[in-house]
Structures are given as structure tokens and as C-alpha cells.
Structure 1
Amino acid sequence: MNKVKIQDAIIGLGKDKDPLFGSVQYERPAKTNTIVTVQTDDKTVQIPLNQIEIIVFRFDAETFGLIFNYRLCISDKKSFNLWNRQTKKLACHELQPNF
């Protein structure tokens, strides 16, 4: 097993809950009951992966990534500026590249 750590992410817990902003760490291979550690500025929470709706992060300098339904998806380079504007509005800062 190896650990995955995403340093700067938006973590969506569902439409009735405010998103969390911070880092995400989990063991691979991830399954529905895999425990994800979310570290924010003021707290650390551990949540089963199946309780996280979406994780959005800047994958590298030109693309964004998201984890949805336990799968990693990568944006195309053409949509980078749109993703960057939208995530900057939500997170109140430009997300930093992770890889």
C-alpha cells in the first residue's frame, strides 16, 4: 500500500454541508470504506471515502483533478482557466499544484 497526499483541495461532503478546504491523505488502493484524513487550518477529521462527494484539486501546472465516485478524473488543458477561476472563487485562493 502507498499513501496519496493532496496538499491543497476542496472537499465536498454533500449539498447540505459546507465544503472543507485543506489537504487530503489516504491509502491506496482506495475502497468505499477507506478512511480519508482531511487536515484544515484548524482541525483534522477522518472520514470514510463513501461520505465524500467530491475532491477537487489542482493536479499540476496545467490541469485540475477531481475524485468523484472513487475515480480520478483529470481536466483537459483547454478548460484550465475556467477551473482556476471557479476554484479560486470557492476557496478564496488559487489552488496550488500537487504533482
Structure 2
Amino acid sequence: MLNKTILIKDAIIGLGKDKDPLFGSVQYEQPAKANTIVTVQTDNKTVQIPLNQIEIIIFRFDAETFGLIFNYRLFISDNKSFNSWNRQTKKLACHELQPNF
């Protein structure tokens, strides 16, 4: 299987309930495993974190869908809940997340 670089340009990265989320881009090699290193680029810093230390990554998949990476798996929201997801992520990130794919 060939490795493929995944780049999510605009995401909310949750590191746990006791840590503030990061906002920025996420890059990693697919297929991802627990120890896969994820590069998170924010406005003022770049950090590299093993995937198993990231609780959740929330991003806007396309114009009408949100995506989540949780427990090393990708989940896609249904279109019915888009407006609710959009309001909540806009409140958290202070901007509307941009589509990625």
C-alpha cells in the first residue's frame, strides 16, 4: 500500500478536556496508526504530536458536510446536521471552517 499525505487546511484539534483546542492545519501520512506523527500548524507555531495523543480533529469536509477523526477513524456528519455543526464550530473557532476536499 502506498503512503499518501493527508492535509486538512482548517481544523479544530482537541487534545483532551484539560487542554485548549488548537486551530490550524493538520498533516499526516496515510495509512495512519496510533503512533503516526501528526503535524499541526497554527498561526504562530508548528507542533508534531503522535495521533494517539489527539482526542479529536473536527473539520469541514465539503460545502455541506463536516468530518471528524476520532479513534484513528474518519466519520462524516449527515447533511441534516450541517447548520448545527457550522454554528458550533464557528463559535469555537471564531470563524467558519473552510471546506477541505
TM over 0.5: yes
Match among 19, 22, 28 for residue 30 of structure 2: 28
Which position in structure 2 is the counterpart of 1:87?
Answer: 89
1:11 is aligned to 2:1: no
Question: What percent identity do the matched residue pairs reach?
Answer: 87
1:73 is aligned to 2:75: yes
For structure 1, the residue ranges without an aligned partner over 5 or more in a row are none
- Give the secondary-structure state (helix, strand or coil) at the position aligned to 2:62: coil
For structure 2, the residue ranges without an aligned partner over 5 or more in a row are none
The alpha-carbon deviation at position 85 of structure 1 amounts to: 0.1
- Give the secondary-structure state (helix, strand or coil) at the position aligned to 1:95: coil
Distance 1:62 1:93 in 2: 16
1:63 is aligned to 2:82: no
The alpha-carbon deviation at position 68 of structure 1 amounts to: 0.3
Deviating runs (4+, > 4 A) in structure 1?
A: none
Q: Which amino acid aligns with 1:60?
A: D
- Count the aligned residue pairs: 99
- Give the secondary-structure state (helix, strand or coil) at the position aligned to 2:26: strand
Task: Give the TM-score, by structure 1 length.
Answer: 1.00
1:39 is aligned to 2:41: yes
Q: Which amino acid aligns with 2:63?
A: A
- Give the secondary-structure state (helix, strand or coil) at the position aligned to 1:59: strand
The alpha-carbon deviation at position 81 of structure 1 amounts to: 0.0
Q: Which amino acid aligns with 2:38?
A: V
